[in-house]
Chains A and B, each alone.
Chain A
C-alpha cells in the first residue's frame, strides 16, 4: 500500500518562494488582496518559515517550507463534525470541500497551522482569473482548504500508468512545489517503498520531522545539518538533486 510522503532539504532551500507561487497556480488558490493579507488571511497552502540560527554576528537564516504534513495521526480529522476532512488509504489527509460547513475546528487543532479558510468568495485579479486549473475545483466561501499533495497529479499519473498497463513508478508524480523548486530541495514519492527516493532520503541522520514529539506521525520529512559530518562520514545517499543524475 502506498504512503505518499515528501522530503524537504532545508540546506537546499533558498527561500525563493517559487514553490508558493507554483502551488497557488496549480491549485487555484485565491489571492485575497492587501488588506486581508495584512490581517493574516493569505491562503497559501505552503509558506516559508524563517528560523534564525546562531548568535550575532555568526548567524544564518534557515528557510523551512511548511505545508500540510499529511499526518498519520492527524489531529484535524477527529474534530471535524461532518467528516469533511478524513484519511485516505494512501496516507493522504484529504478534504471534501462540498461537505465542509466551516466550523474551523480542524484549523485550530492543527499544530502546524497550515489550514486556510475561504473568508470571502474566491477572486483573482486579471489575468490570473484566466489561468485556473481545470483539474482542481474552486472552493466556495466558508470552507476550509489546504495542501492536497497535488492529488490531481497523483490521479493523472495513475491513469497514465493504468493506460500503459504498468504499476506507478517512483518519480511519476511530482507536486507543483517539487517540480518548481530551482534547487530541487523537495522530493515526493512513496514512503512505504523502501527503495523509493523519498525513503532513501528520509533514512538520513540529517532527517527530522516538525513537532514529531506530538505524536502526529507526519508524512513530511525534513533534512538539515549542512554538508559537513554525516553526509560523508555515513557514506549516505547523495543530496536530492544529485540523486537524479
Chain B
C-alpha cells in the first residue's frame, strides 16, 4: 500500500473515486441541516431560560432529584460507544468488513459525546460554575473532591473525547489530502480546511508507516478508555447506597448496554446513509449482515445481564431494594419495563436472528427499537430508585416538563445537525481503507490463483 500516493490516481482508473463525490452539499441534507439547526437554537434558548429561572422549570423534585437530563447523559454517552470501541476492536482483530463503516462509526462517537457531555452542564443548578470540577490552580488552593464519581466522570469523558476525536481525525488524513489535491478552488474555505487538517500529507512511505503505527496505538489505547468511561458513568449510581443503584454488576452492565445502543445507532445511520447517498456498493448487505450478527450477540448479552440483575435483587428481597423492584416489575413503572424488554430483546431478536431480518430495512427497524428501549432502560435506572426513598414519608413521582422534553428534542437535533454537516464536508466512508481492502483482496486472489496453478501444475 505504500505505492498509494494520495491524489495521484486518475479518476477513471479508481473505483473509489466516486466516494470523493459524496462529501459535498446536497439539497436534502441542507434542508435537514436547517431544520435540525432550528432544534439546536431551541436547545440553547430553553437552556438559557432554565439557567435564568432556575431548575424549577424542569419536572424534577424531591425525592426525584435527577431526571431525564441524567437519562440523556447516560444515553448519549452510551451511543458514543458505537464508534470508537467497535471500530477499534474490529481494527485490532483485522476484521476486513469493518472498512466501509469505521468513519461512519467514529463520527457517531464524537458527536454523541459532544451532546452527552452537555447534559451534566444542563443538569447542574449553577452550570456557569462547571469549571469548579476541574483541578485548576487558584489562589485559595481549592481542588475538586477526587473521591466523587462526578470528578472521575469529568476526567473519563474528557479523555474519551480527546481520544476519539484523534481517532476520527487521524485515519482521515489520507482522504483529506485527496480532497485537498482535487479541490478546484484553491482560495476556498473547503480547500483551506482540508489543507489544514491533512497536516501536509504527501503519501510518502515514511508517512504511511507513521500513520499505520499511530492508528495501531490509538486503536489499542482507546479500548480501555471507552470501557472505563461507561464504567465510571455507571458508578455515578453504583457507588451510592441508594436501593436499586448499589449493584456490583452495573459497570459491565452499562458497558454492554452502551455498546448495544451504539451498534443500533450505527446500523440506523448506515441504513440512512446507504439510501440517501446511494452507497449500496460500499455499505453492502454483507456489511449489515455482519454488524447485525454482532448486534444479535449484544441483544443476548444485554438480556442476560438484565435477567441476572433483576433476579438476584428479587430473590434476596431486602425491603428497600424490594420496593424499587416491585415498582419496576408490576408497579408504577411496570408498563415501561415490559415495553423496554419488548423493544430491547424480543423485537431485535426476532429480526436479527434471520438473514432476511439483518438486511438494511430489518436492521433499521430493530435499531429503532433498541434506541428507544435503551433510552427507557436509562430512565428505569435513574427514576424508580429515587422515587422510592428508604423512609416512607416522601414517595416520589416524576414527569418531565415541556422544557426538559424540548431540551431533549434539541439535543437529538444537535446530534443530527452535526452529523449532516460532517457528511457534507468529509467523506463518510474511509476511501483509502476501502481501497486498501480491495487491493488486499486482489492480491490474495492473485496469490491463490498462482498457488492453484502451481498445485495444478505439480499434480499433472
Contact = CB atoms under 8 A, between A and B. Distances in A.
A214 B187 CA distance: 68
A72 interface: no
A6 B391 CA distance: 19
A99 B144 CA distance: 11
- Counting chain B residues whose Cβ lies within 8 A of the other chain, the interface size class is 35 or more
Contacts of A99: 132, 142
A40 B241 contact: no
A112 B62 contact: no
Contacts of A120: 53-56
- Counting chain A residues whose Cβ lies within 8 A of the other chain, the interface size class is 35 or more
Interface in A196-245: 210-211, 214
A142 B145 contact: no
Nearest to B241: A75
A57 to B, nearest CB: 22
Interface stretch (A19-27, A47-55, A125-133, A165-173): A47-55
B386 A121 contact: no
A211 to B, nearest CB: 6
A108 B242 contact: yes
Contacts of B390: 111-113, 211
A81 B148 contact: yes
Interface in A140-184: 140-144
Nearest to B59: A39
Contact of B391 (A79, A81, A112): A112
A36 B149 contact: no
Interface stretch (B211-219, B220-228, B392-400): B392-400
B61 interface: yes
Interface in B52-84: 53-56, 59-66
Interface string B115-157: 0000010011111011011000000001011011111001000
Given A36-B56, A99-B132, A111-B241, A78 B125 contact: no
B148 A79 contact: yes
Contact of A101 (B59, B61, B130): B130
Contacts of B389: 111, 113
Given A103-B125, A211-B390, A82 B144 contact: yes
A81 B61 contact: no
A82 B54 contact: no
B125 A49 contact: no
A94 interface: no
B156 to A, nearest CB: 13
A103 B240 contact: no
B239 interface: yes
Interface string A79-98: 11111000000000000000
B125 A41 contact: no
A99 B150 CA distance: 15
A79 B154 CA distance: 14
Interface in A15-66: 36, 39-42, 47, 49-51, 66
Interface string B284-319: 000000000000000000000000000000000000
Contact of B148 (A78, A112, A121): A78
Contact of A79 (B132, B240, B393): B240
A142 B126 contact: yes
A79 B149 CA distance: 7
Interface in A104-141: 104-105, 107-109, 111-113, 115-121, 140-141
B4 to A, nearest CB: 49
Contact of B63 (A40, A49, A79, A81): A40
Contacts of B124: 101-103, 142
A100 interface: yes
Contacts of B127: 101
B61 A103 contact: no
Nearest to B64: A40
Interface in B221-263: 236, 239-242
Contacts of A83: 142, 144-145
Contacts of B145: 78, 80-83
B125 A104 contact: yes
Contacts of A79: 147-150, 239-240
Contacts of B394: 40, 47, 113
B329 to A, nearest CB: 22
Contacts of B150: 79, 81, 103, 105
Contacts of A140: 126
Contacts of B241: 75, 109, 111, 214
B147 A78 contact: yes
A42 B63 CA distance: 11
A148 to B, nearest CB: 18
Interface in B82-138: 120, 123-127, 129-130, 132-133
Contacts of B120: 103
Nearest to B386: A108
A120 B63 CA distance: 16
A100 B126 contact: yes
Nearest to A32: B56
B131 to A, nearest CB: 9
Given A66-B391, A75-B241, A118-B54, A113 B62 contact: yes
27 contacts: A40-B397, A41-B56, A49-B393, A75-B240, A79-B149, A81-B150, A81-B154, A82-B132, A82-B144, A83-B142, A101-B124, A102-B55, A103-B125, A105-B150, A108-B386, A109-B240, A112-B390, A113-B62, A113-B390, A117-B125, A119-B54, A119-B56, A119-B60, A119-B61, A120-B53, A143-B125, A214-B241
Q: In the A-B complex, list the 10 residue pairs whose CB atoms are closest, starting with the nearest.
A: A102-B125, A142-B125, A141-B54, A119-B56, A49-B393, A120-B56, A40-B61, A81-B150, A104-B65, A142-B126
Given A39-B59, A111-B241, A116-B62, 6 more contacts: A40-B396, A75-B241, A79-B148, A104-B66, A111-B390, A142-B126
